[in-house]
Amino acid sequence: MTMKTTLKLNLGPQHPSTHGVLRLILELTGEQITSCEPDVGYLHRGMEKMAEKMSYIQYLPTVDRIDYLAGFFYSELYIRTIEKALNIEIPEKAKKIRALLLELNRISSHLLWIGAFLMDLGAISPFFYAFREREMILRYFEKLTGQRMMYNYFVFGGVRHDIDFLEDIEEILNILPEKIKDYERIITDNPIFLTRTKNKGVLTQKTAINYAITGVNLRASGVNYDIRKSDYLYEEIDFNPVIMEDGDCWARYKARILEIKESLKIVKEVLEYLKKSEKLKQNLIKPIGIILPEGEYYSEIEAPRGLASCYIVSDGKENPYRLKWRTGSYYSVNLLRELLVGNYLNDAIAIAGSLDIILPEVDK
Amino acid sequence: MNYLYHLYIEFLQKYGIPKLAGDITFYIIPFCIIAAVLLVVVLILVLAERKLLGFFTQRKGPNRVGLWGILQTLADAFKLLFKENITPQNADKFLFNLAPILVFVPVMTVLGIIPYSSEFTFVNTSTNIILYLVLAMFPVLSIFLGGWASNNKYSLMGAMRAVAQVLSYEVPMTFVILSIVVLASSMNLTDITLAQYSRFGITGWFGIPCFIGFAIMFICIIAELNRCPFDLPEAESELICGYNTEYSGMRFAVFYLSEYAMLFANSIFLSILFLGGYLSPFGGYLSHMIWRDTQIANILVYFEQAFWLFLKSGLIIFCIIWVRATLPRLASFDLLKFSWKWLLPISVINFFIISVYKLGGAL
């Protein structure tokens, strides 16, 4: 007679690789996971409820905090929704500036992910290497906006002030490709890394679509879905979405590396435009006392962790009646239920890490 | 050792202390020396590792306490010393406290059986190598004890992994050691060292005919030390801190200390087996070359021998730290597979090759 007992394991919230805010209730047979139940909400700040009590301009500085690694995206998303509601056209140069900053931010976010993912796999050095390069970008953001993470730089109708320090971006463009080659040398062909990521946590197209996965995770499974292609900021910019076929951890890693390269291309292209362009002229609207006409407004953006969207219901007052965020990570956390089952504990960490879950984005 | 023994007895008799007292105390002194040296070595090793990791990852490493952060480890040790010792409520209190004590016994003994120089081996038996094998495996017992007694799921998993890992890496290691025993025709570490003597220095080292064995042994030692890429028992991102999750304060420090002491002992062992132990890499000793056959040279040569041994083990430690900075961690099943499917067959082949080589040499 064999006796079967399972071990219930609380992975988190106090666990080094869940960054203090994610709790996974795992059921283990030996070291094999039989069920996984994500428990989120440890970082809940009531971002949506807060919006209902604040005027539109009051809420603007807080949206950067939804995803502190990609602050520009949420700020852009929120502003975009309101601009859409008020029919504001932003000047061409402001569009380009926004696209440039978004792509730089995407690079910094992906760089952090590479470091954190390799840290989850037990390699320490890539973490510091990635942070070194991320630092360059953050320094530039600090120079430009005065803040390293919570930029609050985009405003209704344009940007806060004209872009500057373009030579810093050129330096980033010179240094980063070399460094990415270095990462690939130390990570991509490493046999240990390959055995730990190849065919681990395979996300099929069907599962990905069923779980509403978007962003790099979806594209690494072979679905060509990049909202940037229809985004008005990227209208005249030429780029190719990164599509990988396998859908395993390695594909997700490789897709992010390739996406950084693609983003660098975009940055380069926009930089050429910005260098030639004249001084920014924009008619900013008076932000205090904005009232959205009664109705529902929706817009979306391709954030580093998947499709993000903002949905505002206005009843014609100073603050929104209801505001809803859709964030990519939230769906990735849900996916863990399916993806972790049948895997061993040490692969589970790698798989969870490969999905690029950022908890402030999940909990909002 | 006899030389030192006579020196000691002579020294005591000069002051009228009976020989019996000398006989008894002589075997205590070495362990006092070991304990003192060990602490210093561990302090240096911890600092060296942090500095080197800093260097590899483009940081500065500790540089605030003392000059170049020399006193950083000391400060950390004091901090740990004064920290509260927390015993979890449901832990097996006796075993929980026993584990850190037990972990230190083999470390002290292992350092006693190493020939630091031709006259400086505290415990010199004819089968030192077997003694070493047993003692090097011993810490895993206390790791398991600590993990089990903590009554923590992560600790338990770490402990189980540690046992599985050490058991599976012990087998190829034994085969490699056997091939060395065949080469040297002895199980005594001093004899093994002397068997590697050649007029040209390096050419006599067993690392040259037995280079496959050297590679295997290097890997096995990293695995036995639970260091990256085999640091599964304390995989930080999976098991928090593995078997010592629940340990705090001085008890944690003792585990930490023994880990580094074992690193030191194992690297010395590796350099004895493959890199000629305390023999000079140039054939003759430098002190003999400089001072010829004077009294100074005869004394200095012992220190020079110890210096060579420490230098060789230092290089091995550097490589181990280098490996840690470079590689990600293996998954637990790949780790066992790697041992049983690759290392074990290769080590058997290596044993075969070495036996043929030895036979050919005899013919």
Interface confidence (ipTM) of the complex: 0.80
A15: closest chain B residue by CA: B240
Q: What is the pLDDT of residues B244-298, one digit of tens each?
A: 788 888 888 888 888 888 888 889 888 988 888 888 888 777 777 777 777 777 7
Mean pLDDT of chain B: 83
pLDDT score at A316 = 83
pLDDT band at B1 (very low <50, low <70, confident <90, very high): low
Q: Three-state SS for A312? A: strand
Percent share of chain A, pLDDT over 90: 0
Which residues does A43 contact at the CB level (< 8 Å), separation at least 6? A21, A359, A360, A362, A363
Domains of chain A by range and CATH?
45-363 (1.10.645.10)
Which pair of structure tokens corresponds to residue B279?
């023999």
Q: What is the pLDDT of residues A262-276, one digit of tens each?
A: 888 888 888 888 888
**Residue contacts between A and B (CB atoms, under 8 Å):** 79
Which pair of structure tokens corresponds to residue B87?
């015993």
pLDDT band at A190 (very low <50, low <70, confident <90, very high): confident
pLDDT band at A3 (very low <50, low <70, confident <90, very high): low
Which pair of structure tokens corresponds to residue B220?
């096995």
Nearest to B331 among A127, A128, A346 (CB): A346
User: Please, are residues A168 and A140 in contact by the beta-carbon 8 Å criterion?
Assistant: yes
Sign of the alpha-carbon dihedral angle for A161, A166, A172, A177: positive
**Does residue B10 belong to the interface with chain A, where contact is any CB pair within 8 Å?**
no
pLDDT score at B26 = 74
A118: chain B residues, CB-CB within 8 Å? 328
**Does residue A31 belong to the interface with chain B, where contact is any CB pair within 8 Å?**
yes
pLDDT score at B103 = 85
Distance from CA of A129 to the nearest CA of B (A): 7
User: Please, are residues B127 and B153 in contact by the beta-carbon 8 Å criterion?
Assistant: no
pLDDT band at B236 (very low <50, low <70, confident <90, very high): low
Distance from CA of B174 to the nearest CA of A (A): 25
pLDDT score at B165 = 85
Q: Is the Cβ pair A17, B238 closer than 8 Å?
A: yes
Which residues does B359 contact at the CB level (< 8 Å), separation at least 6? none
Q: Is the Cβ pair B237, A345 closer than 8 Å?
A: no
Mean pLDDT of chain A: 85
CA angle B180, B183, B186 (to 5 degrees): 80
pLDDT at A364 > cutoff 70? yes
Q: What is the pLDDT of residues A74-124, one digit of tens each?
A: 888 888 888 888 888 888 888 888 888 888 888 998 988 888 888 888 888
Higher pLDDT, A164 or B287: A164
pLDDT at A20 > cutoff 70? no
pLDDT score at B233 = 72
pLDDT band at B2 (very low <50, low <70, confident <90, very high): low
Q: Is the Cβ pair A15, B58 closer than 8 Å?
A: no
pLDDT score at B358 = 84
pLDDT at A1 > cutoff 60? no
- Lowest-confidence region among A187-196, A288-297, B235-244: B235-244
Nearest to B331 among A120, A125, A196 (CB): A196
**Does residue B327 belong to the interface with chain A, where contact is any CB pair within 8 Å?**
yes
Q: Is the Cβ pair B240, A347 closer than 8 Å?
A: no
B332: chain A residues, CB-CB within 8 Å? 31, 344, 346
Mark which residues 288-307 of B lie under 8 Å from A by CB: none
Q: Is the Cβ pair A122, B231 closer than 8 Å?
A: yes
Nearest to A190 among B228, B238, B327 (CB): B327
pLDDT score at B363 = 62
B328: chain A residues, CB-CB within 8 Å? 118, 121-123, 190, 192-193, 196
- Lowest-confidence region among A69-78, B200-209, B219-228: B200-209
Distance from CA of B75 to the nearest CA of A (A): 24
Q: What is the pLDDT of residues B243-258, one digit of tens each?
A: 778 888 888 888 888 8
Alpha helices for B225-294 (secondary structure H): 236-239, 249-274, 286-291
Distance from CA of B256 to the nearest CA of A (A): 19
Which pair of structure tokens corresponds to residue A269?
């292209």
Q: Is the Cβ pair A118, B328 closer than 8 Å?
A: yes
Strand segments (E) across chain B: none
B232: chain A residues, CB-CB within 8 Å? 346
Q: Is the Cβ pair A346, B229 closer than 8 Å?
A: no
Mark which residues 318-357 of A lie under 8 Å from B by CB: 344-347, 349, 353
Across residues B225-242, what is the average pLDDT? 75
Which pair of structure tokens corresponds to residue B294?
């004077």
State the Cα–Cα distance between residues B130 and B80, nearest whole angstrom: 35
pLDDT score at A17 = 66
Which pair of structure tokens corresponds to residue A97?
């500036």
**Does residue A121 belong to the interface with chain B, where contact is any CB pair within 8 Å?**
yes
pLDDT at B118 > cutoff 80? no
Largest Cα–Cα distance of chain A, in whole Å? 81
Q: Is the Cβ pair B237, A119 closer than 8 Å?
A: yes
pLDDT score at B262 = 87
Percent share of chain B, pLDDT over 70: 98
- Lowest-confidence region among A50-59, A292-301, B9-18, B348-357: B9-18
Q: What is the pLDDT of residues B156-176, one digit of tens each?
A: 888 888 888 888 888 898 889
